[in-house]
Structure 1
Amino acid sequence: MPHPILYSFRRCPYAMRARLGILLATQTVELREIVLKHKPQAMLKASPKGTVPVLVLDTGKVIDESLDIMRWALEQNDPLDLLMQNSINHQTTAAKLIAHNDTDFKLWLDRYKYADRFPEYEESYYRNKAESYISQLEAQLLDRDNLVRQQVSIADIAIFPFIRQFAHVNLTWWNNSPYPRVKSWLDMHLQSEPFSLIMSKYPTWLESGKSVLFGAQ
Structure 2
Amino acid sequence: MSTSPVPILYSFRRCPYAMRARLALATSGLRCELREVVLRDKPAALLEASPKGTVPVLVLPAGQVIDQSLDIMHWALDRHDPEGWLAPERESPTAMAELIAQCDGAFKSDLDRYKYPDRYPGTDPLAHRAAGAAYLAALETRLAVSPHLFGRRPTLADMAIAPFVRQFAQTDAAWFGAQAWSGLARWLDAFVKSPLFSLIMGKYPAWTPGTPGIPFPRN
1:77 paired to 2:42:
no
Q: What corresponds to 2:198 in structure 1?
A: 196
1:171, distance to aligned residue in structure 2 (A): 0.7
Cα separation, 2, equivalents of 1:171 and 1:207: 38
Matched residue pairs, number? 216
Letter of the 1:10 counterpart: R
Correspondence for 1:209 among 202, 211, 215: 211
Q: TM-score, normalised by structure 2?
A: 0.94
Letter of the 1:116 counterpart: D
1:51 paired to 2:54:
yes
Cα separation, 2, equivalents of 1:197 and 1:85: 24
Letter of the 1:204 counterpart: A
Q: What corresponds to 2:153 in structure 1?
A: 151
1:118 paired to 2:136:
no
1:29 paired to 2:45:
no
Q: What corresponds to 2:5 in structure 1?
A: 2
Give the 4+ runs in structure 1 shifted more than 6 A.
none
1:98, distance to aligned residue in structure 2 (A): 0.3
Q: Residues 20-78 of structure 1: CA distance to partner in whole angstroms, max 9, x if unpaired?
A: 00000111100000000000100100000001000000110000000000000001101
1:208, distance to aligned residue in structure 2 (A): 9.1
SS of corresponding position for 1:2: coil
1:216, distance to aligned residue in structure 2 (A): 6.3
**Are the counterparts in 2 of residues 26 and 216 from structure 1 also a CA contact under 8 Å?**
no
Correspondence for 2:176 among 169, 174, 177: 174
1:207, distance to aligned residue in structure 2 (A): 7.8
Letter of the 1:36 counterpart: L
Correspondence for 1:60 among 63, 77, 87: 63
Letter of the 1:202 counterpart: Y
SS of corresponding position for 1:206: coil
SS of corresponding position for 2:39: coil
* Unpaired runs of at least 5, structure 2: none
1:94 paired to 2:92:
no
> RMSD of aligned C-alpha atoms?
1.7
Letter of the 1:8 counterpart: S
SS of corresponding position for 1:148: coil
Cα separation, 2, equivalents of 1:22 and 1:204: 20
**Are the counterparts in 2 of residues 53 and 66 from structure 1 also a CA contact under 8 Å?**
yes
**Are the counterparts in 2 of residues 17 and 161 from structure 1 also a CA contact under 8 Å?**
yes
1:118, distance to aligned residue in structure 2 (A): 2.8
Cα separation, 1, equivalents of 2:148 and 2:122: 36
Cα separation, 1, equivalents of 2:198 and 2:146: 23
Q: Residues 109-161 of structure 1: CA distance to partner in whole angstroms, max 9, x if unpaired?
A: 00000123334243211100111100110011121000011111000000000
